[in-house]
Chain A
Amino acid sequence: MQGAFREKLQAEYESRRAKNSKYSLRAFAAFLGADHSSLAQILRGSRPIPAARIRAWARKMGFGSEEAAVYIAAEHVASKAVSQRTQHLHHWTAEALAVMNEPAHFEFLRLTREPGFRADTRWVAERAHSSVDQVNIALTRLLRLGLLEMREDGTWRDITALEPLTEEAFRKVALESVRQAAAAKGVKFGKSERKQKA
């Protein structure tokens, strides 16, 4: 979306040149009431366009104030790449917070090690004092992070290899799994970020 007004300016300039091959950038800048070198930088995309200029230039090119407002808004919308990165960072941070703070994850793994464990999330929910939905969300996350396995023989196994399995050790392993999963998607936080800053 960013750059929409720049494209409009470029199109307007090209349309004027198509009608008059001698029409110069200097002439276009004079029409807009701008400095031609600033306009050249804006058209190259190396300089942002302040909102006041969009408003003024839009008026000169015959756009209504509502149209100008849309172009101003478009300049202020985060770029797709920035927005995607923010979304990823939000997702992985929420994943990290969930494994740290939602006890169903640790409880699920702890229960898989108990004699008489039943591969049934209703059974797990009852013993983990959670709802079946909370346990199923934890199950999905544990599978996604590679901390639990549902095997062909119908058994569910904790594959953290932690001995003993403690809450603290689980949190460390789970966070490392989240960090690795995020890194695979190009999102770095936690340990990697500290390393980058160092």
Chain B
Amino acid sequence: MNSPVMQFQMISKNPEETAKFYCDLFGWTVNADNPLGYREISTGSPEGIQGGIWPAPPQSPNFVQLFMAVADAKAAVEKAQGLGAVVLIPPTTLPGGDEMAVLHDPQGMPFAVWRRN
């Protein structure tokens, strides 16, 4: 299976303001009506990828991370660890059945692997 980039996620200390800024700027829409209150971004375009916004603690930086599709999150995490990645959040089943894990690559850049249900 290929591992395309499925989604971008903005980690923001002020998610409400971040959502407002990008919606005002690009006409995106945000829907948080789901069990995690996750702000799902719809760019309104069939091109490119869709995204989301997740809150960051006050001491953390704001950043964007990418979600790569995998067939098996646990296997992808093991492979990434073998290549020098560090697990931040182990494979975790999200409401709805998707599975996700968050890691730091060997350069310290966070990314996520995502198995769609």
Whether the Cβ atoms of B55 and A133 lie closer than 8 Å is yes
Chain A contacts with B in 17-43, Cβ cutoff 8 A: none
Determine, out of B40-48, B75-83, B91-99, the stretch whose residues face the partner at the interface. Answer: B91-99
B37 interface contact, C-beta 8 A: yes
Nearest CB on A from B84, distance (A): 14
How far is B55's CA from A98's CA once the two chains are assembled, in angstroms? 15
Across the interface, A119 reaches (CB within 8 A) one of B35, B37, B55, B90, namely B35
One digit per residue, 1 when the CB lies within 8 angstroms of any chain A CB and 0 when it does not, for chain B 93-108 equals: 1110101000000000
Chain B contacts with A in 51-69, Cβ cutoff 8 A: 54-60
Chain B residues within 8 Å of A91, by CB: 59-60
A-B contact count (CB 8 A): 56
A160 interface contact, C-beta 8 A: no
- Known interface pairs A120-B35, A121-B35, A122-B37; A137-B57 also in contact (CB < 8 Å): yes
Determine, out of A48-56, A63-71, A138-146, A171-179, the stretch whose residues face the partner at the interface. Answer: A138-146
Number of interface residues of A (CB under 8 A): 26
Chain B residues within 8 Å of A151, by CB: 93
Whether the Cβ atoms of A150 and B94 lie closer than 8 Å is yes
A60 interface contact, C-beta 8 A: no
Across the interface, A132 reaches (CB within 8 A) one of B37, B57, B90, namely B37
Q: CB-nearest residue of chain B relative to A143? A: B89
Chain A residues within 8 Å of B99, by CB: 152
Q: CB-nearest residue of chain A relative to B55? A: A133
Whether the Cβ atoms of B95 and A119 lie closer than 8 Å is yes
How far is B88's CA from A94's CA once the two chains are assembled, in angstroms? 16
Nearest CB on A from B65, distance (A): 12
Chain A contacts with B in 121-136, Cβ cutoff 8 A: 121-122, 125, 132-136
Whether the Cβ atoms of A94 and B59 lie closer than 8 Å is yes
Whether the Cβ atoms of B93 and A150 lie closer than 8 Å is yes
A154 interface contact, C-beta 8 A: yes
Across the interface, A154 reaches (CB within 8 A) one of B55, B90, B95, namely B95
A90 interface contact, C-beta 8 A: yes
Nearest CB on A from B109, distance (A): 15
B25 interface contact, C-beta 8 A: no
Nearest CB on A from B30, distance (A): 13
Nearest CB on B from A52, distance (A): 37
Chain A residues within 8 Å of B15, by CB: 133
Nearest CB on A from B75, distance (A): 15
Query: Assuming A120-B95, A136-B55, A150-B93, what are 8 further A-B pairs, CB within 8 angstroms?
Result: A90-B59, A120-B35, A132-B32, A133-B16, A133-B55, A143-B89, A143-B90, A152-B97
Return 12 A-B CB contacts under 8 Å, by A number.
A94-B57, A94-B59, A119-B35, A119-B95, A133-B37, A134-B55, A137-B57, A143-B90, A149-B92, A152-B97, A154-B93, A154-B97
A residues at B contact (CB < 8 Å): 90-91, 94, 98, 119-122, 125, 132-137, 139-141, 143-144, 146, 149-152, 154
3 interchain residue pairs of minimum CB distance = A132-B37, A94-B59, A133-B55
